Amino acid sequence: MRFLFLFMLIVSAAMVPQMAFSEQAKTIDELVSSVDSSQCAGCHSDIHDNWSKSWHAKSVTDPRSLRTFRTFILKGIDKNKKPAGAKRTMLRDMCLKCHAPAALGASDELAEQIAGLVVTAVDDKDASKKEAAIKELSKLDINCITCHGVRTPGGLVEVRTTEGLVEGKLPAPPEPNTIFGPGDAKNPPHKDAIGFNTIKSENMKKSEFCMPCHHGCPPGMSSKECPTQWTVYQEHYIAHGGKQTCQDCHMQGKGGASHRFPGIYEKEFAATAIDLTLSATPTRHYDHLEDKMMPAIVMNVKLKNNSPHDLPHG
């Protein structure tokens, strides 16, 4: 009896993730209906424009991501089948949890369909099928609600028993009709306009906000073993007195500009990472072949990395 009870406990603990998503979506439209951010564009058009040019807005559909997802599906999952019997749902669990947190609400069947769409989007010979697959997948790209609909985007919430014991961890789904914001706005008209509550989240201005997606190592790993934006930032920047948050550097500029999120591909922004100082001092050099003194210079090269990241990185 005791054994049976223990067995039931283990089974129910293992079932928790499935139960929490018992209303799993069966189509992409169903999946994204609660995270549709088109209703934000009308009032926040500047931010929307900038976001749409950021890598976040292409987190599934930029060609680099799509091609790597495809290789992961065909070579990693289909071919290797590791762990034994591995399924294409691994794309959802291993990649999309950060590249498209909305996909975590997909049923296994839908997750397999999404993986199929990725392969079509990259490999199909028919250009119109490719285009249609990309259009469908773009609904999953990181949008306003991915970041503003949860307290910690991409973060895990603890699932507790009624006694308060931790049973497991689940990705936080968006809270319905809620916008989490930094709290600077006086009277956002969200309630009247779209029926959304606006809640201040202290997390929004902290680097921790970006961490769940820009990290991904098991806890306790150092930047030597797992050099992510987070570990390197903590060990080589914060530990040496660095004060700026991810937002201070990557969300500069008023209004829309804050949501452009420039990185290594923006030349002007990337250039702010490096201070290069060259100084030359004239000297003389004795040339043995010619047997005479020649004019020469001593070059002093100073290279400083101002960014809290390894260079090159990414």
* 25, 28, 32, 51: which one binds ligand HEC (CB under 6 A): 51
214 C-beta neighbours (distance < 10 Å), count: 15
> How many binding residues for ligand HEC (CB under 6 A)?
82
Q: What residues from 156 to 185 belong to the interface with ligand HEC (CB under 6 A)?
A: 179, 181-185
Using an 8 Å Cβ cutoff, are 210 and 98 in contact?
A: no
Q: What residues from 270 to 299 belong to the interface with ligand HEC (CB under 6 A)?
A: 270, 272-273
Stretches 15-23, 114-122, 166-174, 262-270: which one binds ligand HEC (CB under 6 A)? 262-270
Shortest separation between residue 154's beta carbon and ligand HEC, angstroms? 4
Tell me whether residue 113 or residue 198 sits nearer to ligand HEC (CB atom).
198
Using an 8 Å Cβ cutoff, are 151 and 12 in contact?
A: no
User: Is residue 17 within the footprint of ligand HEC (CB under 6 A)?
Assistant: no
Shortest separation between residue 4's beta carbon and ligand HEC, angstroms? 37
* Pairs from 177-181 (Cβ < 8 Å, separation ≥ 24): 178/149, 179/148, 179/149, 180/148, 180/149, 180/150, 180/151, 180/204, 181/148
Residues ≥6 apart with Cβ < 8 Å to 190: 179, 196, 197, 198
User: Is residue 189 within the footprint of ligand HEC (CB under 6 A)?
Assistant: yes
Using an 8 Å Cβ cutoff, are 150 and 139 in contact?
A: no
Using an 8 Å Cβ cutoff, are 43 and 182 in contact?
A: no
**Longest distance between any two alpha carbons in the chain, whole Å:** 100
Shortest separation between residue 284's beta carbon and ligand HEC, angstroms? 40
Nearest Cα to 105, choosing from 89, 118, 117? 89
* 101, 105, 171, 174: which one binds ligand HEC (CB under 6 A): 101
Shortest separation between residue 294's beta carbon and ligand HEC, angstroms? 40
Site string for ligand HEC, 125-144 (x = CB under 6 A): -----------------xxx
User: Is residue 205 within the footprint of ligand HEC (CB under 6 A)?
Assistant: yes
Shortest separation between residue 189's beta carbon and ligand HEC, angstroms? 5
User: Is residue 221 within the footprint of ligand HEC (CB under 6 A)?
Assistant: no
Angle, vertex CA 30, rays to CA 26 and CA 36, nearest 5: 150
